[in-house]
A and B are shown apart, each in its own frame.
Chain A
Amino acid sequence: MDALAASHPVDQAVRLEVQDLIARYADAIDQDRLEEWPELFVEKCRYLITSAESDAEGLPHGVIYADSRGMLRDRVSALREANIYEPQRYRHVVGPIVVEAESETTVKARSHFLVVRTMHTGDTMLFASGIYRDRIDVSHVPCRFIERIVVTDSHKIDTLLAIPL
């Protein structure tokens, strides 16, 4: 544990808040309450879906990239109003969460995920696996994402990525 983390130990109440945020994230997406998804982020946020390969190479592009809550809301309205894709749902399985102190008001979190995608035809596949790298504002309750970097293990995406990971 580095000096900063040691000087700001993450207390149990904050850990529970962070766990709750990460759980609500998956619940909002998997239960098709996408409109709740942007509200889990602070206004000036950062959301990026990249791959482990691109991440290791330091490439900045993401298949989805947003730097504001407005862009996340636009993503949802585009999915609702504009984009054509077959009905489908995700099931997130999120593993244990590592929480580390960052500052008086923020923490860093890492968690591993699997996303299973089921199409309206009944076809089910393991759609994505990877890690969430989060920075979370814990100055208010409920806490919110300042940044969520989704790093997928594979650089391949089957057919299309409509619903966010």
Chain B
Amino acid sequence: MQQSEQTSHQSPHQVAWPSSGLTRVPFRIYSDADQYALEQERIFKGPTWSYLCLAVELPNPGDYLVTSVGEIPVVVARSPTGELNAFVNRCAHRGSLLCLKRRGNADAITCVYHGWSYDLAGNLTGVAFERGVKRQGGMPQEFRRSEHNLRKLRVAEFCGLIFGSFDQDLPDLETYLGPEIAARIQRVLRQPLKVLGRTTQVLPNNWKLYFENVKDSYHASILHLFFTTFEISRLSNKGGIIIADDGGNHAAYSIMDRTIGNAEYREQALRSAKDDYRLEDASVVEGVDELGDGITMQILTVFPGFVLQQHLNSIAVRQLVPRGVDRSELAWTILGFADDDAAMTERRLKQANLVGPAGYISMEDGAVGGFVQRAVHGLDHDAGVLMMGGSDTRSQEFRATEASVRGFWKKYRALMDV
């Protein structure tokens, strides 16, 4: 059929954009299954570095854990000589999942299905009954183990963060981060880390809605009352946004200024201006300036799915994992430093009430993506508006802007070629 021939030679179907600028986003981008499938190819398997895990989670030779790049299950393992390797968690034989546990320690990885085994670099080292049984059966002469290794990823480490990529030609991780974003990671993760906890939040929305949300400095003091009331972060505070040139990575920060009252907010009669709301036990917001620069909040993203967060002394990394066109998961790892004393650990644990799925200042983020997802469903030919703070993606000295959200779409459209 002529039509199907034509289709096969065209570039894959993509959602159409209403304009070449970055101030409109077609709602269909969140609900289109073909678009979602293409994102797996062009973004997650494409020229991007995806966060995999922390180096401190794999301290010993033989330690492994299961993670994801996009929807692809990936194993990260520390070899006997200490280096970190990553490979697809899929047997080269029949495609079964290899590691069934979330984490563990092993000398080798053996598939439960037919017993093919691999070393911790992903090389095939053993095939059950390779020479057959009693000289019958077995692999033919032309079979070469070296042609059936696991599919490997490039691995890079920065400040104890482990990233992986399927792209062999991509520049190194530090180049990908860019000097300003790298410096903002170093600012927080400047000592050996300690994992305090983990939790996974299942988000009822397309992955992009969460990544936009976390880059969106406009909503923070409007949707989240806790920010405003306790002066953890306000649009009117000193602070700003750093956006990488290609738009993909960003860091937003604010510096506490207790001299500013609620007047600006009250003028706008925003719901969030409630001066009479006080905590009975304020230890949840009692931070110390441990980094010495007065920055009370820093949210940093690395395209396509990594978040580093510092709220007061609450430090966490978040890994965004797409799980279908209308579903994603946010894997939180709550952090401290290896040399924290008991008082600092307690401080971090209390301040962790601010973040996570039950967090005073982040629980809403788990739901708001779902509000968009439910509202665009079935009527997705319209477009959203991103005009706050102009139309560009430059770094800005203020946060009443959507520049970093526009930056996300700049990077997205470059990678998707749309």
Q: A residues near B, CB below 8 A?
A: 49-51, 53-54, 59-68, 70-71, 73-74, 77-78, 81-86, 155-162
Contact = CB atoms under 8 A, between A and B. Distances in A.
B358 A162 contact: yes
A89 to B, nearest CB: 16
Nearest to B203: A159
B5 to A, nearest CB: 45
A82 B197 CA distance: 26
Interface stretch (B77-85, B135-143, B349-357, B385-393): B349-357
B102 A53 contact: yes
B38 interface: no
A61 B201 contact: no
B200 interface: yes
Interface in B164-223: 195-204, 223
A65 B196 CA distance: 13
Given A61-B352, A65-B353, A160 B197 contact: no
Interface stretch (B117-125, B262-270, B274-282): B274-282
A155 B199 contact: yes
Contacts of B334: 61
Nearest to A59: B197
A53 B101 CA distance: 12
Contacts of A62: 197, 349, 352
A84 B223 contact: yes
B204 A159 contact: yes
A64 B102 CA distance: 24
A82 B352 contact: no
Given A81-B225, A83-B360, A160-B363, 18 more contacts: A59-B197, A60-B349, A63-B358, A65-B350, A73-B281, A74-B280, A77-B280, A82-B226, A82-B229, A83-B225, A83-B363, A84-B223, A84-B367, A85-B363, A156-B202, A157-B200, A158-B204, A160-B201
Contact of B349 (A54, A61, A73, A83): A61
A68 B274 CA distance: 24
B372 to A, nearest CB: 13
Contacts of A85: 363-364, 367
Interface string B88-113: 00000000000000100000000000
A67 B350 contact: yes
A157 B357 contact: yes
B161 interface: no
A43 to B, nearest CB: 11
Contacts of A59: 195-198
A165 B196 CA distance: 21
Given A74-B280, A74-B284, A84-B223, A64 B363 contact: no
Contacts of A70: 279-281
Given A59-B195, A61-B197, A61-B352, A160 B284 contact: no
A82 B349 contact: no
Contacts of B281: 66, 68, 70-71, 73-74
B197 A54 contact: yes
26 contacts: A54-B197, A54-B199, A60-B197, A60-B345, A62-B349, A63-B199, A64-B353, A65-B353, A66-B281, A73-B281, A74-B280, A82-B274, A84-B223, A85-B367, A86-B367, A155-B200, A156-B201, A157-B201, A157-B202, A157-B357, A158-B202, A158-B204, A159-B202, A159-B203, A160-B357, A160-B366
B358 A49 contact: yes
B332 to A, nearest CB: 9
A148 B368 CA distance: 30
A65 B360 CA distance: 12
Interface string B367-379: 1001000000000
Nearest to A165: B358
A67 B283 CA distance: 10
A81 B357 contact: no
Q: Lowest 6 CB-CB distances: which A-B pairs, in order? A: A61-B197, A70-B281, A70-B280, A160-B366, A82-B225, A161-B358
Given A71-B284, A74-B280, A65 B352 contact: yes
A160 B332 CA distance: 13
Given A77-B277, A86-B367, A160-B367, A61 B196 contact: yes
Interface in B236-257: none
Nearest to B329: A156
Contacts of A68: 281, 283
